């Protein structure tokens, strides 16, 4: 449970703040201070001695909150800041954990609740990206888990999506997040991060889709590239659990897709969102033919309860399409 490859080397220093959005610089300074209040903890180099028969309760962040919640729209750099906090916290890597909400629920499913509590209780910091406010059952499960970890002295940091039905009230979800984690809200300080999607800030429009021939030719010239018909890929995703999408992407150097078209239904759309997130985490360029990525989701989907997820997927796939432009040129 470490930051994904895209965020393996990020830091507060290389987070590029927008001068027109002072909340970004304020969030950086607040997170730097939070990391500075976290010592190495038991088992870390120079830390306290570990006792075999007694667990010491560790102060998660002396003189301040035990948790930080990063609140903002998609593309303002919340994951960059969350990963930077993980890197900046002065503790051994094995005493820090970073994962998405889905990965955390998968961990509970694999280990069981009590074993997960025991495993994570010795950590100094747990970072949760994309806290799923739209899944009531899993939200209660993770909220209960976090309560146990707070009691053990683990520091917390999180970002979240937006609850369905709340999207017309703005891009920010702090009130929803604090309500959903119930009794833990007093432990969190909210950092509101304003700004526009950095993937679009000052950049040209998304590249136009390529022809099927160009995509196929590029796939044959790129070592480690995959080549799939888009409808066939969507069908395959329906037979693979989303928790496995990351492993499915490992080792893939480029994704080449032919016949990209509108998504037929919401279940398929949500699976594609997960795949887009895993490709983006791994910095895998996407070369495609068919319709542009901003035409994947219907107007009904973009106006519905999962709107934020779909816009994030469009934003990330567009960035990966830009990354792939040179691949098509090289194969020409």
29 token code pair:
């300074």
Distance, C-alpha 101 to centroid of its chain: 8
What do you get for the CA distance between the two ends of the chain, in Å?
40
| Mean pLDDT value across residues 194-199 | 64
The answer to whether residues 131 and 159 touch, using CB atoms and an 8 Å cutoff, is yes
pTM for this prediction: 0.62
Q: What is the pLDDT of residue 176?
A: 61
d(CA 329, CA 73): 33
Residue 179: other Cβ atoms inside 10 A: 11
pLDDT digits (tens, 9 = 90+) for 88-97: 998 888 899 9
pLDDT of residue 46: 36
| Dist. CA 285–CA 319, nearest whole Å | 8
**Would you state the pLDDT for residue 151?**
86
Mean pLDDT of 3-22: 86
Please report the pLDDT score of residue 105 as a whole number. 83
Say whether pLDDT at 171 is over 80.
no
- Distance, C-alpha 168 to centroid of its chain: 23
Q: Is 202 helix (H, G, I), strand (E, B) or coil?
A: coil
- Identify the pLDDT of residue 37: 85
Task: In whole angstroms, give the CA distance from residue 64 to residue 57.
Answer: 16
Share of the chain above pLDDT 90, in %: 25
Alpha helices in 101-226 (DSSP H): 101-111, 113-120, 136-151, 174-180, 212-221
* CATH 3.40.50.300 is the classification of domain 5-39+63-199: yes
Question: Which residue shows structure tokens 């996407």?
Answer: 286
Mean pLDDT, range 227-251, rounded to an integer:
90
pLDDT digits (tens, 9 = 90+) for 26-84: 989 999 988 888 864 443 333 443 433 334 444 444 556 788 888 877 678 888 899 99
Sequence spans of domains, the chain: 5-39+63-199, 203-331
């Amino acid at each position: 449970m470490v930051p994904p490859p895209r965020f393996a080397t990020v830091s507060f220093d290389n987070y590029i703040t927008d001068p027109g959005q002072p909340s970004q610089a304020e969030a950086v300074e607040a997170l730097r201070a939070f990391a500075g209040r976290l010592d190495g903890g038991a088992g870390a180099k120079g830390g306290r001695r570990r006792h075999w028969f007694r667990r010491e309760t560790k102060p998660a962040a002396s003189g301040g909150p035990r948790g930080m919640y990063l609140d903002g729209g998609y593309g303002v750099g919340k994951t960059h800041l969350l990963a930077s906090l993980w890197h900046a916290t002065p503790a051994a890597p094995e005493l820090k954990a970073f994962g998405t909400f889905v990965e955390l629920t998968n961990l509970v499913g694999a280990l069981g609740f009590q074993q997960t509590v025991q495993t994570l209780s010795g950590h100094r910091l747990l970072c949760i990206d994309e806290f799923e406010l739209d899944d009531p059952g899993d939200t209660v499960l993770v909220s209960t888990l976090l309560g146990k970890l707070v009691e053990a002295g683990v520091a917390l940091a999180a970002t979240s999506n937006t609850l369905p039905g709340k999207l017309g009230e703005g891009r920010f979800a702090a009130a929803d997040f604090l309500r959903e984690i119930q009794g833990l809200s007093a432990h969190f300080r909210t950092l509101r991060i304003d700004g526009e999607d950095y993937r679009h800030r000052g950049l040209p429009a998304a590249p136009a889709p390529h022809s099927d021939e160009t995509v196929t030719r590029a796939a044959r010239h790129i070592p480690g590239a995959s080549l799939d018909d888009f409808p066939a890929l969507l069908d395959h995703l329906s037979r693979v659990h989303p928790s496995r999408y990351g492993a499915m992407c490992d080792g893939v150097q480029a994704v080449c897709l032919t016949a990209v078209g509108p998504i037929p239904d919401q279940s398929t759309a949500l699976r594609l969102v997960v795949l887009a997130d895993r490709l983006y985490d791994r910095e895998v360029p996407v070369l495609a033919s068919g319709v542009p990525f901003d035409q994947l989701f219907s107007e009904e989907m973009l106006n519905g309860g999962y709107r934020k997820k779909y816009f994030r997927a469009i934003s990330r796939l567009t960035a990966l399409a830009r990354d792939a432009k040179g691949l098509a040129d090289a194969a020409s």
